[in-house]
């Protein structure tokens, strides 16, 4: 084929509009990639949380008692466990390279440990936030930190926001699994990949079970 003709054919192929089915199939791959990137970001966030809490526990401005320092140290230990669990999920997802059929196995294999570690972390992180809110002059009701007040000390209150943001990310990450999988299953149906849809629905059921078990463990 002459070079000019090849260029015309390539341009024509590039301009060919996608069908709804092919577009939906493509989105499944993109969602899988986003899930994998989300796992990578989770591990980075948790390493940042460990560093932040470690520095905070050594900051005399917070006037933390020994038991508060021990609480933060225990929380950091649990965060290390979170990194280990999510690193394993990330590695398995990367190994299967976009194979949605393997997702059920990935989450089923991690289910028990995810529930244990996330449940422990959420309990500890709530206690940490209550301690820090009180030290910063913030508002606490019962065992929940509910916000800052005008009496909150400026520098300490300002330091709360990034810590709180990092502390809530693990639970947000778990809830995000369901959103990803629900969208992927819907696109599998649109692209008429019914076996893939069935597998994704099964994975979605496992993930929702993990979320429910974590919540039950906290209660």
pTM of the prediction? 0.83
Share of the chain above pLDDT 70, in %: 85
- DSSP code of residue 22: H
Question: 148-157: long-range contacts (C-beta < 8 A, 24 or more apart)?
Answer: 155/61, 156/61, 156/62, 156/132
What is the arithmetic mean of pLDDT over 2-25? 66
- Per residue in 137-157, pLDDT (tens digit) is 765 444 444 444 434 446 787
Give the C-alpha distances (Å, rounded to integers) separating 120 from 5, 25, 102: 64, 38, 27
pLDDT in tens, 158-211: 888 899 999 999 999 999 999 999 999 999 999 999 999 999 999 999 999 999
Cβ(43)–Cβ(86) below 8 Å: yes
- Looking at residue 157, its pLDDT comes to 78
Q: What are phi and psi of 142, to 5 degrees?
A: 65, -120
DSSP letters spanning 84-128 = HHHHHHHHHHHHHTT-GGGHHHHHHHHHHHHHHHHHHHHHHHHHH
Instruction: Give the per-residue pLDDT at 57.
Output: 94
- Residue 189 in tokens: 């149906």
Residue 119 confidence (pLDDT) above 90: yes
């Amino acid at each position: 084929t002459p070079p000019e003709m090849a260029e015309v054919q390539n341009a024509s192929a590039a301009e060919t509009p996608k069908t709804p089915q092919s577009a939906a199939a493509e989105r499944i791959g993109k969602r899988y990639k986003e899930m994998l990137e989300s796992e990578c970001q989770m591990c980075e966030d948790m390493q940042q949380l460990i560093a932040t809490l470690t520095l905070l526990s050594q900051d005399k401005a917070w006037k933390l008692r020994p038991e508060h320092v021990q609480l933060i140290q225990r929380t950091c230990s649990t965060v290390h466990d979170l990194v280990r669990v999510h690193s394993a999920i990330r590695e398995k997802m990367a190994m299967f390279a976009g194979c949605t059929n393997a997702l059920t196995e990935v989450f089923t294999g991690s289910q028990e440990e995810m529930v244990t570690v996330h449940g422990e972390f959420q309990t500890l992180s709530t206690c940490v936030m209550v301690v820090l809110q009180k030290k910063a002059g913030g508002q606490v009701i019962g065992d929940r930190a509910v916000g800052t007040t005008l009496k909150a000390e400026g520098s300490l209150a300002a330091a709360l926001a990034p810590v709180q943001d990092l502390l809530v990310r693990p639970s947000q990450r778990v809830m995000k699994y369901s959103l990803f999988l629900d969208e992927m299953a819907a696109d599998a149906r649109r692209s008429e990949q019914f076996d893939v849809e069935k597998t994704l629905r099964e994975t979605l059921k496992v993930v929702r079970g993990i979320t429910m078990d974590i919540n039950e463990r906290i209660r």
